Amino acid sequence: MLHLLPLSTLLLLRSVLATPRPSPAPQALPLLIWHGLGDNYAADGLRSVGDLAIDVNPGTFVYYIRLDESPDSDKSATFFGNLTEQIASVCADLAAHPILSTAPGVNALGFSQGGQFLRAFVERCNVPPVKTLVTFGSQHNGISKYQICLPNDWLCKTYIGLLRANTWGAWVQAHLVPAQYFRATNATTGEPTDEYLARSNFLADVNNEREVKNATYKKNLASLDKFVMYVFEQDTTVVPKESGWFAQVNTSSGKVTPLRNRTIYTEDWIGLRELDEKGALEFKSTEGRHMRLDDEVLTDVFEEYFSPAQGSWESLQKDAQGQLEL
C-alpha cells in the first residue's frame, strides 16, 4: 500500500530544498615566506609572522621556504651555496608540494635577500604562479658593500673575509651567497663594470643586464597582479638601501637614479615598466633599521595585499574556468 506524506511535510521539504545554502567564505591564497641572511625557516620570529598572517586572514596556508629541513643547515645555506642551484631546488620543491601544486595561485613575502630570491623564483619558474609579491629591505639592484658582522658572529666574519678577498673569483661566485648579488659599478659613471656583467652568478642574470635578454623573465614578472617593494628608512645594513626600489646609486657622488630613469625600466628588461603601467608596481617605505618590523606594518600588508578580497582560491578558479569557456 502506498503511503503519501502529509501536505505539511511536503511543503516543509520544498522550503528546505529551495533555501539557498550560504556560500563558503573565500579562502586566502597560500602564502610563501622566504627569510633573510642568517635566519632559518623555523625561527620563532619568522613563525610569528606566519601566525599573524593567519590571524589576519584565517585559513591561510603558510609555507616557509627552506633549503634544508635542518634549521641549522638552512641558516648555513643563507651564507654558503650556489644561488642558481638553490632557486632551482626551491622551484622543484614548490612544484611538487601536495597543497601548493594544486593552488591556482599564491602570494609571496620576502625579507631582505629572500625578497630578490622570490623574484628570481617568479622569473625563472613561477609554479605555482605568484599573484602578489611583497619584499622588505631586499637588494633588488644589488649591494655595493658587505654588511658588518656582530662581534661574536664567527660564521659571518668567515664568509665576509672570503668575500672581500676575491668577489669575482669563480669559487666565490659559486659558493658565497652575498657575492652573487654584489654589484660593482664604475666610480665615475655609476654603470656596472664589465667584470660584474661577465662573472656575476646571479644578479646580472635575473636583472637581465647582459646583452642577451631572457624574455621569460620579463613575461613572468609582468604577470604579477602586484609587486610591492618596502625600503627601511634608516637601513644601514643594505648599502645602498635604495636598492630595494631598484634605484642605482653612484658610489662616488651619492647621486640616486630612480628606477623610472634607468634603462632597466625604459627598455623594460624584466617587466617592471609593464607592471608600473598597469598600476601593479608600488614603492613603499617604513621607519626603522633593517628588518625592524612591527606587527602594525605587517598587519597592514596582510590586510591590503594578501586578503581574500585581493585574490582567493575561488575567484582564481572561476577566472580560469571562464577562460576555458571563452
Q: Do residues 320 and 104 touch, judged by C-beta distance below 8 A? A: yes
Cell digits of residue 54: 593567519
CA 326, CA 147: separation in Å to the nearest integer?
Answer: 53
What residues act catalytically? 112, 235, 290
Quote the radius of gyration of the chain (alpha carbons, Å).
Answer: 23
The set of long-range contacts for 144-153, using a CB threshold of 8 Å and a minimum separation of 24, is 144/182, 144/183, 144/184, 144/185, 144/239, 144/240, 144/249, 144/251, 145/239, 146/178, 146/182, 147/37, 147/178, 147/237, 147/239, 153/38
Q: Which residue type sits at 222?
A: A
CA 92, CA 218: separation in Å to the nearest integer?
Answer: 21
